[in-house]
Amino acid sequence: MNSKICILDYGSGNVASVKNSFDRLGLESFISNEVPDIVRASHLVLPGVGAFKASMEKIMSKLPLDVISAQISLGKPLLGICVGMQVFAESGFEFEIHPGLNLIPGSEVIELPTTVPKPHVGWDSIEIQRSHPILNNIDDGTDFYFVHSYFVTKIDDSNLIASCDYGVKFPAVFAKDNLIGVQFHPEKSQNNGDKLLRNFVELIA
């Protein structure tokens, strides 16, 4: 497989950890926001750690969104991780409403309920809702590593691949065409995360 994974770096993601994961799997990856690199890549990854508003501000200032949008429209797979998944939403609520990338129209990012400790940190299991290649060889009930206080809601059932229950059932994995979002951190999820990243790379544009 002649895959080339471009890890987008807007200053809010564990880009080095994500690259280390691909390196461990023997998959070619590079960290870049440069247009030629994005165009020549076979797959794109948008990691994320931190707050929705701050992440969106950095994305808007540091990433060539018109080029990324064009590549998505050509069918190039894009994986969003944690906040990198959340910014796929139409909007996010963090004291006030902030616009997202609107790659999943109608979706919103809201805070976890007050009845649970925040952030949601550590290993937790996923409940698979429907079959999808991103979860090949991953069983229902598999644990992944989560770190977040907000989650994406109003995801269409047809796009919901797996959920997690932490005071509220929230999307852990969703997919819409060539867009894949995961709320957990595959780069911190050891063997299970490696399986998911390999599955992602096997998605061919």
* CATH code of 109's domain: 3.40.50.880
Instruction: Please state, in angstroms and rounded to a whole number, the distance separating the CA atoms of residues 109 and 145.
Output: 19
pLDDT tens string, the chain, 205 residues long: the values are 578 999 999 987 789 999 999 999 999 999 999 999 999 999 999 998 888 999 999 999 999 999 999 999 999 999 999 999 999 999 999 888 999 999 999 999 999 999 999 999 999 999 999 999 999 999 999 999 999 999 999 999 999 999 999 999 999 999 999 999 999 999 999 999 999 999 999 997 5
- Could you give phi then psi for residue 109, rounded to 5 degrees? -115, 125
Instruction: List, by residue number, the catalytic residues.
Output: 82, 185, 187
**In which domain, by residue range, is 80 found?**
5-201
- In 3D space, the residue among 89, 88, 92, 85 whose CA is nearest the CA of residue 52 turns out to be 92
Token output for 92: 């996010």
How many domains in the chain? Answer: 1
Q: What are 35-53's pLDDT values in tens digits?
A: 999 999 999 999 988 889 9
pTM for the whole structure: 0.96
| DSSP code, position 145 | E
End-to-end CA distance of the chain: 12
pLDDT in tens, 100-123: 999 999 999 999 999 999 999 999
Radius of gyration, CA atoms only, the chain: 15
